[in-house]
Amino acid sequence: MNLEEYRGVWVFIEQREGKLVDVGLELLGAGRALADKLEVDLCGVLLGSNVKDLAKDTFEYGADKVYVIDDPILEQYRTETYMKAVGDLVRKYKPEIFLYGATANGKDLASAVATEVMTGLTADTTLLDVNLEKRLFEASRPAFGGNIMATILCKKHRPQMATVRPKVMKKLDPQPGRVGEVIEESISLKEENLKTKVIEIVRSAKAAVNLEEAEIIVSAGKGIKDEKGFKMVEQLADVLNATVGASRDVVEMGLCGHDHQVGQTGATVTPKLYIAIGISGAVQHVVGMQNSEMIIAINNDPDATIFNVAHFGVVADAFEIVPLLTEEFKKALK
């Protein structure tokens, strides 16, 4: 592999039902900094059906070029079609860095493309940089339960790829009227030759919990004890228009589903406000919420380790303070 042939920073621009998913725009912000450092173009990859018009938005958020494949075969995400489309683009245009949002589809696609073009992939990165001297992408992520940051290099293969969770990177301020180049490509697959078909899309009756994109999270720990305690946390969340999070112990107690779990084996969250109620602060929990903008912890044990990461701490019995807070917020937010 001649590494010198690979130039440019690419971002997978995810869209759902014709609307851009925020994480793609966030990655354009991060990608812009890398591209400027390397003095190369920042390019988006946009796939779907009737999606070409979305390209102009990506220019406003920093893209110089967008590779578009607009084809009915790409209407719904399928590993088979998207992997082929992206794989062909990579083989033809040879980018050196390729970023994807760590959404369900982004994670699936990135790992499929990594095998398709035989390169490496770093998952769930939180810090991106380049070593200019060696022209190497440095993708860093927490490792060993968040106790160290590991910087992962892909020295011998290209593109150097990474996934980044939503809300970890920041969008640039849009520059209205900023323009770029749209490069239209096609896909050579035929529907009748595909192994997978989307027969029907069944939406979950219950709105899925979207912790990763939540702005306020009120999280319950084992200190809330039982269903009554969990209800109390839900009521506070309700008043604040917040999403309910939970520690693993609370999920294991059967008080809520795993989709509420924050931490190493749950969601990694970065809300503006995270209120931890009756959570001790085990490293496996903290690794999933420590990057929240503001953390308020409520715990009746003054030595609870959650206070080490909290910006504000309340040493109190949750059963006394939480209903009071709910009442006060109700009045204030009326």
Binding footprint of ligand FAD on the chain (CB under 6 A) = 221-223, 247-250, 261-266, 278-280, 282, 284-285, 288, 298-301, 304, 317-319
- Nearest residue (CB) to ligand FAD, 130 versus 279: 279
Residues in contact with 200: Cβ distance below 8 Å, sequence separation at least 6, in sequence order: none
At residue 144's C-alpha, the angle toward residues 142 and 148, to 5°, is 50
What residues form DSSP beta bridges with 334? none
Q: Alpha-carbon distance 125 to 34, whole Å?
A: 14
Q: Smallest gap, in angstroms, from Cβ of residue 276 to ligand FAD?
A: 8
Pick between residue 180 and residue 229 the one whose CB is nearest to ligand FAD: 229
* DSSP character string of 70-86: E-GGGSS--HHHHHHHH
d(CA 269, CA 242): 13
Minimum gap (Å) between residue 279 Cβ and ligand FAD: 4
Nearer to ligand FAD, 319 or 329 (CB): 319
Cβ at position 209, least distance to ligand FAD in Å = 14
Beta carbon nearer to ligand FAD, 182 or 232: 232
Specify the residue, 103 or 247, whose C-beta has the smaller distance to ligand FAD.
Answer: 247
Can you read off the two tokens belonging to residue 3?
């590494």
Task: Mark residue 309 as left, alpha or beta (left: phi above 0; alpha: psi -120 to 50; beta: remaining).
Answer: alpha
**Closer residue to ligand FAD (CB): 115 or 265:** 265
Q: How far is the CB of 22 from ligand FAD (least distance, A)?
A: 24
How far apart are CB 263 and ligand FAD at their closest, in Å? 2
> To the nearest whole angstrom, how small is the minimum distance from the Cβ of residue 173 to ligand FAD?
34
What is the smallest separation between the CB atom of 249 and ligand FAD, expressed in angstroms?
Answer: 4
Comparison of 20 and 267: residue with beta carbon closer to ligand FAD = 267
Alpha-carbon gap, residue 26 to 6, rounded angstroms: 23
Please name the amino acid found at residue 105: N
Looking at residue 21, the DSSP 8-state letter turns out to be -
Decide: 60 and 25 in contact? Cβ < 8 Å: no
C-beta of residue 244 within 8 angstroms of C-beta of residue 213: no
